[in-house]
Amino acid sequence: MKFLKLSSVVLALPFAIANPVKNVDFAHGQPSDGKLKGGPILGGTNHAIDLQNPDNLGRQSTDGGRVKSLKWSFSEGKTNIYNGGWIREQVITDLPQSHDIAAAQLHLRKGALRELHWHTTAEWGYVYAGRMLISAVDEHGNYTVDTLKEGDIWYFPKGSAHTIQGLDDENEALVAFDNGDFDASGTTFMVDDWIAHTPRDILAKNFGVDVSVFDDIPDKDPYIFNATSTTTPDSGPESGLTGPSSYIFHDSATKASVPIPGGGGHISIVDSRNFPISTTIAAAIITLKPGALRELHWHPNAEEWLYFHKGTAQATIFIGGGNSRTIDLVAGDVAVFPDNSGHYVLNTSPTEDLVWIELYKSERVADISLTQWLALTPPDIVASTLKISREVVDKLKKEKQLLLK
């Protein structure tokens, strides 16, 4: 009798599975092909994440080996909020495979300032909402004051003094740096932090003012704070930072557009060839039509860092030695494709454009198309290597298609 009572208690435990799990397949967030491979998750899991990442559950039979995590979401980061805005970052501790690039989403309200500062890294920025005022000074006393709108880009070389102000009611930009370990000590220097930690008599002597002038300097730098929108006009030719020396690239969508033979979308490339000051960060801004494919390719000169701004995507990254991994991506995600790794990006939406930004720690954007490579290689060699017919090889396009409908 005691044995029967104990059995009844065990069967009533919450861990017991009374009913079989229904809808056991990848589409329902379960690591199962719905046939023989895999099975339902019976323990704890974040079902929302599982549904959003079916390829993490083993959906692609062509994946192989072990590839470390290559994506992260800004939504997973700690958002720091201030009077006047907020910022949330992605650094190497968030995405350890991103060695070359760190980045942040920066939000400023009207008049709010990202305080005067400089870095040991170069800074690259892309305005995707509102308008921002950029002010910067180089080591020669050349300066720039300019208004940036959506689609405009800035680049501040290492050590350049600068600040950013929001001009519309709400303003936002992607900001990136050419060092994945951007949060390391000694990377960013704030002007009021420096002044607050300098003897007052030295400040008075340096600026030629009374010691009392600096009585209200904040003890802790505010990072972002509310201020009055500047009325200073944009700088003219006398500023020095114009032409090839300009820190600003306007109208990237039109001025940097490249031909797309494959007809699958739009690409703007902004690098040192059309933005000479930008010698350590090269960028591509891509819009991919619904269902379209960024063709199989790799980059010979740098690892690729990506920010997904709109839509949904799939990418498979091949790192050699039988190792590959497929990942699913949504707006707000960042990803990194290791140096020289083969990959593609697919727009998985049947109705919505996919928009993302690619960054490289390089002076230029460069890629090698798999199709073009095979098409320009002696066809008998390709046919023998891939065990395909010569006729198939002969039909491969010799021009990069880039984005395929």
Residues of each annotated binding site for Mn(2+): 117, 119, 123, 162, 297, 299, 304, 343
| Residue 29 near residue 57, CB atoms below 8 Å | yes
State the Cα angle at 332 between 361 and 97, rounded to 5°. 40
Question: Is the sign of the CA dihedral 171, 178, 345, 328 positive or negative?
Answer: negative
What secondary structure, in 3-state letters, does 151-182 show?
CCEEEECCCCEEEEEECCCEEEEEEEECCCCC
Question: What DSSP state is assigned to residue 111?
Answer: T
Question: What DSSP state is assigned to residue 383?
Answer: H
* Cα 358 to Cα 6: distance, rounded to the nearest angstrom: 61
Closest CA to 135 of 116, 120, 153, 152: 116
304 phi and psi angles, rounded to 5 deg: -110, 130
For β-strands 224-225 and 113-119, DSSP reports them as antiparallel
344 phi and psi angles, rounded to 5 deg: -145, 170
Give Cβ neighbours of residue 357 (< 8 Å, ≥ 6 apart): 126, 174, 283, 284, 285, 286, 306, 307, 309
| Residue 295 near residue 346, CB atoms below 8 Å | no
Binding-site annotation: residue ranges = 117, 119, 123, 162, 297, 299, 304, 343
Closest CA to 403 of 378, 377, 367, 373: 367
Name the catalytic one among 303, 358, 363, 399: 358
Annotated catalytic residue 358: yes
51 burial via Cβ count (<10 Å: 0-12, 13-18, 19+)? middle
Residues known to be catalytic: 358
